[in-house]
């Protein structure tokens, strides 16, 4: 059976499964559409949370980020995982006890303000729409390679599948679909890693294989990878190459950004009891760890395989001839995500760090004119990994289904957060409070459909900052929603004026910093604000600024609170009731 047919069977079969689940779990009320009727078991919810969380960024991009940067990008693993600890300990149980459907719902009622609700809705829409661009793009990348269609056609197919199960099932349908998607993606991620670990180290457990001996060279695998990279003029893989300040701030930004992501938070509204919310977070960490502990091994082993493909006889030996390049290179060149240019006309492929003075002499001696791997999109690494390692066709088809499952599961969660904010927070709670439940359910489905159309269009026509969309989303969540939720739960004195001022200050400062230092603003046609450490404020990377934005939010909120009217007495009691143990094991459903 040819590879295309295998891909079609695995991907098409998974899509049919998702649609069948949506039909079975069709939402018949707003409670089922927004919160799955608050009837999801903690283990089931933990698996759905893991699928919701392990987006195209986690499945497709994370190993690529680690592979091409090394130890420094372990901040992604620490930050994203640490965010769930914050959620489990500080937010999830209290938000579930409050008994609302959405994040703006909590902020609007806790801060007794329509303006606070609208600011929260604006923040949610900015975060979710920005984030969903990456998911749609990831689906397009997977489709363009494995189903041999162009990216836009792939996006339309992915959108049609999400449309069916998200519009029909709402949170209820999405929950059980995400359980199936988690099973698909974790199998798809793990099986190739097991095969490759066996190939390179003889150890079937990738987490252990990463620290095992490389069979061919007899060296520790990471030491062999370091040796090859240094011989080609690159930084060693296991060294720390970023500033400690930025790594700390970036990790913190990812942590509080994770804890503030609205599509993640709303999953904790689906369980029957308050105690189940905390259990859900614990199970989510277990399910996430199954993939996150494998990702460093996938990144390191794939990078080693790529280098030894180009330099089959050693690090400084003559490189691969272009005509003899392996099939995986030829296949991915067709997508435009991998590209070579024979700069010196010798018919060979050279890949090295042309900025390295040490390697420049070797390059000059051999007549090399520069790095001829002119394009290598990091997002292809996980998807190409089975091909690079020469694994069977069914494994390649499995990774295709897994990549699409990861992209679609998170896209559905984000789209639900968007549609809930529009139908529940804007229409029901703000502009049309007398709408019937049937009318609200219809509005929710129409909002979902509109969100899918917008997300598809943005995936086809991504804005100029698409490469930084994930960092942008986390920075906004960290600086806007997370502080407001934290203060809403743990401070009986925080008033509406302070919370609104804090959210706006965090949102604006982070947005301005990101747009400015990513080179999207210009001053008099100069590059004064180029994205370089010399131009960053106090040396803080734009990707790490979300943590600073959160601090600005907290400070502004407390300063403004001191200068304005105190919190009404009934709101003080409300906050105290959220935190007291009494009734903590019961499903309150209301405050």
239: domain CATH number? 1.20.1730.10
Q: How far apart are CA 66 and CA 283, in angstroms?
A: 25
Classify residue 243: in a domain, yes or no: yes
Q: Is the pLDDT of residue 44 over 90?
A: yes
Q: Is the pLDDT of residue 465 over 50?
A: no
The 10s digit of each residue's pLDDT in 197-215 is: 999 999 999 999 999 999 9
Residues spanned by the domain of 266: 3-301+388-465
Classify residue 28: in a domain, yes or no: yes
Confidence band, pLDDT 50/70/90 cuts, at residue 383 = confident
The residues, ordered by sequence, that sit 6+ positions from 531 with a Cβ below 8 Å of its Cβ are 517, 518, 519, 542
Are the C-beta atoms of 97 and 588 separated by less than 8 Å?
yes
Q: Which whole number is the average pLDDT over 462-471?
A: 55
The 10s digit of each residue's pLDDT in 517-536 is: 764 444 444 444 566 777 78
Tokens of 61: 């991009």
Between vectors from CA 9 to CA 382 and to CA 288, what angle results, nearest 5°? 40
Classify residue 399: in a domain, yes or no: yes
* Region of residue 112 (phi > 0: left; psi between -120 and 50: alpha; otherwise: beta): left
Q: Minimal CA–CA distance to 402: which of 19, 58, 5? A: 58
Classify residue 209: in a domain, yes or no: yes
Report helix, strand or coil for 321: strand
The 10s digit of each residue's pLDDT in 425-461 is: 889 888 888 888 889 889 988 988 888 888 888 878 7
Give the orientation angle of helix 469-479 with respect to helix 244-260, to 10 degrees.
Answer: 70
Classify residue 194: in a domain, yes or no: yes
Q: Is the pLDDT of residue 562 over 90?
A: yes
Q: How far apart are CA 64 and CA 195, in angstroms?
A: 18
Give the pLDDT of residue 528: 46
Tokens of 77: 């693993």
Classify residue 479: in a domain, yes or no: no
Q: Which residue has the tokens 């942008």?
A: 472
- Residues 141-144: contacts with CB under 8 Å, at least 24 apart: 141/60, 141/335, 141/337, 141/377, 141/379, 141/380, 141/383, 141/403, 142/60, 142/383, 142/400, 142/403, 142/404, 142/407, 143/404, 144/335
Give the pLDDT of residue 319: 64
Q: Specify the pTM.
A: 0.82
**Which range (180-189, 300-309, 362-371) has the least confidence?**
362-371
Q: How far apart are CA 423 and CA 438, in angstroms?
A: 12
Q: State the total domains in the chain.
A: 1
The 10s digit of each residue's pLDDT in 49-88 is: 888 877 776 777 778 778 877 777 777 888 888 887 888 7
CA 493 centroid distance within chain: 34
Give the pLDDT of residue 240: 66
Q: Is the pLDDT of residue 464 over 70?
A: no
Q: Which whole number is the average pLDDT over 106-134?
A: 89
% the chain with pLDDT above 70: 90
Q: If you average pLDDT over every residue of the chain, what do you get?
A: 82
Q: How far apart are CA 456 and CA 458, in angstroms?
A: 5
Q: How far apart are CA 393 and CA 377, in angstroms?
A: 22
The 10s digit of each residue's pLDDT in 311-346 is: 765 544 456 777 878 888 888 888 777 888 888 888
Classify residue 201: in a domain, yes or no: yes
**Which range (28-32, 36-40, 312-316, 535-539) has the least confidence?**
312-316
Classify residue 563: in a domain, yes or no: no
Tokens of 509: 């400062």
Q: Is the pLDDT of residue 483 over 90?
A: yes
- List the beta strands (DSSP E) in 290-334: none
- List the beta strands (DSSP E) in 341-467: 373-376
């Amino acid at each position: 059976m040819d590879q295309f047919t295998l891909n079609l069977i695995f991907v098409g079969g998974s899509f049919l499964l998702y649609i069948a689940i949506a039909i079975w779990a069709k939402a018949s009320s707003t409670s089922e559409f927004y919160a799955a009727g608050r009837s999801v078991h903690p283990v089931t919810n933990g698996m759905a949370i893991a699928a919701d969380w392990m987006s195209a960024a986690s499945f497709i991009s994370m190993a690529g980020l680690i592979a091409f940067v090394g130890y420094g990008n372990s901040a992604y693993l620490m930050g994203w995982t640490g965010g769930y600890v914050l959620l489990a300990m500080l937010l999830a149980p209290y938000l579930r006890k409050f008994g609302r459907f959405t994040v703006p719902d909590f902020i609007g009622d806790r801060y007794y303000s329509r303006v606070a609700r609208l600011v929260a809705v604006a923040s949610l829409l900015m975060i979710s729409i920005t984030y969903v661009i990456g998911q749609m793009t990831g689906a397009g990348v997977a489709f363009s390679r494995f189903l041999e269609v162009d990216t836009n056609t792939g996006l339309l197919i992915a959108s049609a599948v999400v449309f069916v199960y998200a519009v029909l099932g709402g949170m209820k349908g999405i929950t059980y679909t995400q359980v199936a998607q988690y099973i698909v993606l974790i199998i798809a991620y793990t099986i190739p890693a097991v095969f490759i670990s066996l190939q390179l180290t003889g150890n079937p457990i990738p987490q252990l294989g990463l620290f095992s001996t490389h069979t061919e060279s007899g060296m520790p695998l990471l030491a062999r990878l370091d040796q090859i990279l240094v011989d080609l003029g690159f930084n060693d893989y296991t060294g720390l190459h970023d500033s400690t300040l930025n790594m700390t701030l970036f990790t913190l930004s990812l942590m509080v950004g994770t804890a503030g992501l609205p599509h993640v938070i709303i999953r904790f509204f689906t369980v029957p009891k308050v105690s189940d919310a905390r259990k859900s977070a614990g199970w989510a960490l277990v399910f996430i760890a199954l993939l996150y502990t494998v990702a460093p091994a996938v990144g390191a082993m794939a990078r080693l395989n790529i280098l030894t493909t180009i330099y089959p006889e050693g690090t400084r030996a003559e490189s691969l001839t272009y005509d003899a390049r392996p099939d995986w290179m030829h296949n991915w060149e067709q997508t435009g995500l991998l590209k070579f240019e024979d700069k010196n006309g010798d018919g060979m492929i050279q890949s090295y760090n042309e900025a390295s003075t040490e390697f420049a002499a070797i390059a000059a001696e051999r007549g090399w004119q520069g790095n001829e791997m002119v394009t290598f999109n990091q997002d292809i690494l996980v998807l190409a990994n089975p091909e690079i390692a020469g694994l069977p066709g069914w494994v390649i088809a499995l990774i295709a289904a897994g990549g699409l499952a990861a992209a679609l599961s998170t896209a559905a969660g984000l789209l639900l957060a968007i549609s809930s904010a529009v139908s529940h927070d804007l229409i029901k709670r703000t502009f049309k409070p007398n709408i019937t439940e049937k009318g609200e359910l219809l509005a929710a489905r129409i909002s979902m459909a509109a969100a899918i159309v917008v997300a598809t269009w943005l995936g086809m026509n991504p804005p100029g900052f698409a490469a930084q969309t994930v960092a942008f989303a986390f920075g906004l969540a960290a600086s806007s929603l997370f502080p407001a939720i934290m203060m809403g739960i743990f401070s009986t004195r925080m008033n509406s004026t302070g919370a609104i001022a804090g959210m706006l200050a965090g949102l604006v400062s982070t947005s301005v910093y990101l747009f400015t230092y990513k080179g999207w603003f210009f001053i008099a046609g100069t590059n004064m604000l180029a994205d370089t450490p010399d131009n960053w404020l106090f040396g803080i990377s734009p990707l790490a600024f979300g943590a600073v934005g959160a601090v600005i939010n907290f400070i502004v909120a407390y300063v403004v609170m001191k200068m304005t009217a105190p919190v009404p007495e009934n709101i003080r009691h409300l906050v105290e009731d959220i935190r007291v143990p009494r009734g903590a094991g019961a499903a309150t459903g209301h405050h």
